[in-house]
Structure formats: structure tokens, C-alpha cells
Amino acid sequence: MQNVHTHVWEEHLHLAPFFVKEAELSRGYPLDMTVRYADFMSDNACFERVVVLGAKARLNGIWVPDDYLAAFVAQAPGKLYGFAGCDPTQSGYLDELRRAAEDLRLSGVKMMPMYAGFDPRDPRCDPVYAYCQSRGLPILFHTGTTFNRQAPLAFSRPWLWDDVAIRYPELRMVLAHVGHPFCEECLVVIRKHPHVYADISALFYRPWQFYNMLVAAQEYKVTHKLLFGTDYPFATAQESIEGLRQANRVVGNSGLPYITDATVEGILHRDAFALLGISS
């Protein structure tokens, strides 16, 4: 199994206190956002390969430096693959991106349009997309809602990436969290673009929404575009896997359609790294 969505940070160095406080809305109770290497590795023991995301969004006080991320993933080469954060509202973002890819050898890019306050169609993103497309670097985007008061929902809608994918047809993109709660909007975007995927991280704790998303994915025949991720430390591997395998619990005797085993195990065992072209 592979995990395409995890986070690392030094909470007090890289996250503003107001961001940590607002994160309580994520699960509805205070979260321990501390990430320790040993705990991280133990939670991810069941995965052969793991994407570890950087995060840069000055607007919301989030800044995980590329060097920190590179040092973290260097502790487990061949298992951990870092995606550098990129905030195109900040000066020097292109130099940072090139350094992350060419000097630090990070494997992809993470962008957070709504947290950082930019539209993914913003012209400042074009050099990032062109660079990543030409070098075969995948970009994982936060899509869908969040808990931060300062993060504009307008930049979270999955349909915004339709325009990006039309203009950059070879760019590998992952739309995180299936753009919740705009999941169907996300599914129709990934259906029409061969290299655009969605990850199902952090959705199982809304079982009704999660179930409906999976049914819609089956009906649109896009389950092969869904990738597995946990969003650690927001959720653990075990609860994420169990949440997926128990997605039919809400059906009961209702006669509602079932999520098939092929859908569930397909998501869990998909070779996301091959699809995204992550090699080093």
C-alpha cells in the first residue's frame, strides 16, 4: 500500500497559534498536531511508500521550510518522498521551487490556494505549472473546504482545476480530499482529465458524505482515479483504512447501493507513485 498524503512540521516553529486553534474544527475537538519521526514511521509502517507534504501559506501562518522537509524524508530514503510547499503570493517562490527540485531532490510540489489566498488559475502559478509539467513533477493541491477563517472558499472549488488541466494536459495533479464537500464536482474534473487524480484522505469521519462520494465515483466510473492518503497527523492509518473498509456501514437494510470490494481494495492497493510518475 501507498500513502499520498501526510504532513510533517514542528508545530511551534512552522504553524501559527491561530491556525492550530482553528484546526480543532477539523475533527470537532482539540488535536495533537505534534509530529515525531518515530510516531510518524510507526503509523506509516503498513505503507511501502509515503508522500510527505510540505506546506507554505503565509496568509494562514503556515510555513514548513524545504530544508526541514528534505531532512525529514532523508531519514527513510526509498520510503518517504517529499513534496515541497509553494506559495506563489510570496517573493522568491520560483527560486525556492527550483532549489527544492534540483538541489534538495524533492519529488513533487504541494500547493494550498485557499490557505494562501490565491486562485489556482492565477497567472503567478503558470511558471510553477510549466516547470512541474516539463520536469514531470506532480502537484498535490488542497481542494475543498477547511476550518480557517481567513481561507477564501472561492479558491477551494474543484472546477477551478479544469482550466489548469486544459492548459497543462501533461501535468500530474492530485486534488486532495476529493474537494469535500464539492465531491461530485471533483469527480467530474478527474473523469475528463487523464492525469488528474483525487485523494480520499480525511473523509471517512463524515461517513454519509464519504459513502455518497464513493457511490458517485462508482457511477461516474472514476474509482481508478482515487488515491489513498491519511492526512496524518489529522487521522491515523488504521482508522483511515478501517473507515474505507467500513464505508457500507451506513447502508444497513436500506437497499441503498454498496461500495464494492473492488472499489475499496483498488483504492488501497493502487500504484499511485507510478501514476504520478514519482521515481526519485
Measured from the CB atom, the residue of 133 and 143 that comes closer to Zn ion is: 143
Q: Minimum Å distance from CB 231 to Zn ion?
A: 4
- The verdict on whether omega for the bond into residue 181 sits within 30 degrees of 0, i.e. cis, is yes
Number of other CB atoms surrounding residue 71 within 10 Å: 13
Q: Minimum Å distance from CB 203 to Zn ion?
A: 11
Closest CA to 184 of 153, 212, 155, 226: 212
Q: Minimum Å distance from CB 85 to Zn ion?
A: 12
Phi, psi of 49 (to 5 degrees): -140, 145
Cβ contact 228:3 at 8 Å: yes
Q: Minimum Å distance from CB 133 to Zn ion?
A: 23
Cβ contact 83:106 at 8 Å: yes
Measured from the CB atom, the residue of 87 and 231 that comes closer to Zn ion is: 231
Q: Minimum Å distance from CB 251 to Zn ion?
A: 28
Measured from the CB atom, the residue of 36 and 167 that comes closer to Zn ion is: 36
Separation CA 153–CA 202 (nearest Å): 18
User: Which residues contact Zn ion (rule: CB under 5 A)?
Assistant: 231
Q: Minimum Å distance from CB 144 to Zn ion?
A: 10
Closest residue to bound Zn ion by CB: 231
Measured from the CB atom, the residue of 99 and 206 that comes closer to Zn ion is: 206
* Maximal C-alpha separation, the chain: 57
Cβ contact 69:54 at 8 Å: yes
DSSP state at residue 54? -
Q: Minimum Å distance from CB 234 to Zn ion?
A: 6
Measured from the CB atom, the residue of 22 and 231 that comes closer to Zn ion is: 231
Measured from the CB atom, the residue of 96 and 231 that comes closer to Zn ion is: 231
Closest CA to 86 of 50, 105, 62: 62
Measured from the CB atom, the residue of 20 and 251 that comes closer to Zn ion is: 20
Separation CA 38–CA 72 (nearest Å): 11
Cβ contact 257:215 at 8 Å: yes
Cβ contact 15:57 at 8 Å: no
